[in-house]
Each structure stands twice: as structure tokens, then as C-alpha cells.
Amino acid sequence: MIGVLALQGGFEAHAKSLSRLDVEVREVRTPQDLEGIDGLIIPGGESTTIGLGVEREGLGQPLIDFIDSGKPVLGTCAGMIMLDRDHLGVLDIEVRRNAFGRQLASFEAELDFEGERMHAVFIRAPWVEDAGDGVEVLAEVDGHPVAVRQGNVLAVAFHPELTDERRLHQWLVDRVHAA
């Protein structure tokens, strides 16, 4: 069972991507919704709104505890922001919001992702300004990290749920099965 944080943003598209991989999905809106799930997606959306929802629902510490337990987590776009030092603090990264520009500056790109090509959709996307020693950079755009991994957490600045790309969702499923 994989949870998708469902306070705001692209949670439904992530649930559809997981369903295509024959995975049971639960929307996470309260701390109780985290019970019994084996992995988690923190989707894109508006990071301030997601942060306010996390605070309102009392999800901050339960999310940190879930991630610290070693269960796999995928954060996309605003999800990357939520995982950084200034928000949940579970990834040793500093993220710059809207780094590539506002909505009109959204774009698609072919990335070199761990030695393979990956099509990526960037919408008001962040990039990683600073990454600690334990953070592995997996992909960059114009020299700016847009995909990182630290332990059980994979965070990307783009939206894999908006393409036919399934490798990142499959990464999460594979980590759940390996646990």
C-alpha cells in the first residue's frame, strides 16, 4: 500500500500512475492515514498551501517519523520543497522555489537521469541550491540539480505523473517490495 499526500496538488495523477503499476493506493490527509502504508508520494502543487495543510492536520511530525522509519518516499516539484531543510527537514538540501520562472516559463526537457534519458515536465519548478554530502545528484538542468536521492528519499523538481514515464513510481514500488 502506497500513500499519496492528498492535501493539494497532483495527488490524483500520482494515484493513477501507481494504479497502472497494480499498486494499492491510499490518499493521506491525516496522521491516521499514514498507518499501514509502505511508501509515500508527496506530490507537486503549491508548497505554501501544502505546508499550511500539513500544519492544519498535524501531519508535520508524523510525516517526519514516517520518513525517518526508512520507508521509501518520492517527492515531486512542491514535494521536493516540502522535504528540504526549511520545511520537513528530512533531506539535506536547500531548494529555490520557481527557480526556472513563473508559469509561463514552464518547459519540457530530456534529462540524463542516472545514465538514461528521461522526459520531464517542469511547471514553476524548483531546483536544488545546496546539497549536503549525503545527497546524490541524479539529474541536472543547466548545471542545477533537479533530481536527488538521500537514503530512502527520492526528490525531483519535475512531474513524472504527467507523462508516460513510470520509472520513478516503479522505483518507489521496488523499494516497498524490497523492504
Q: Please give the domain boundaries of the chain with CATH numbers for all domains.
A: 2-178 (3.40.50.880)
Local confidence band at 104 (pLDDT 50, 70, 90 cut-offs): confident
The string of pLDDT tens digits covering residues 54-81 is 999 999 999 999 999 999 999 999 999 9
pLDDT given for residue 171 in this prediction: 94
Active site residues: 77, 159, 161
The string of pLDDT tens digits covering residues 116-161 is 999 999 999 999 999 999 999 999 999 999 999 999 999 999 999 9
List the one residue out of 25, 96, 37 whose CA is nearest residue 62: 37
List the one residue out of 40, 17, 48, 26 whose CA is nearest residue 175: 40
- Spatial distance between the Cα atoms of 149 and 53, rounded to a whole number of angstroms: 25
The string of pLDDT tens digits covering residues 84-98 is 999 999 999 999 999
Buried b / exposed e across 127-136, counting CB within 10 Å, b at 16+?
A: bbeebeeebe
27, three cell numbers: 490518499
CB 160 within 8 A of CB 120: yes
- Spatial distance between the Cα atoms of 141 and 178, rounded to a whole number of angstroms: 31
pLDDT given for residue 165 in this prediction: 87
Buried b / exposed e across 93-125, counting CB within 10 Å, b at 16+?
A: bebbbebbeeeeeeeebebebeeeebebbbbbb
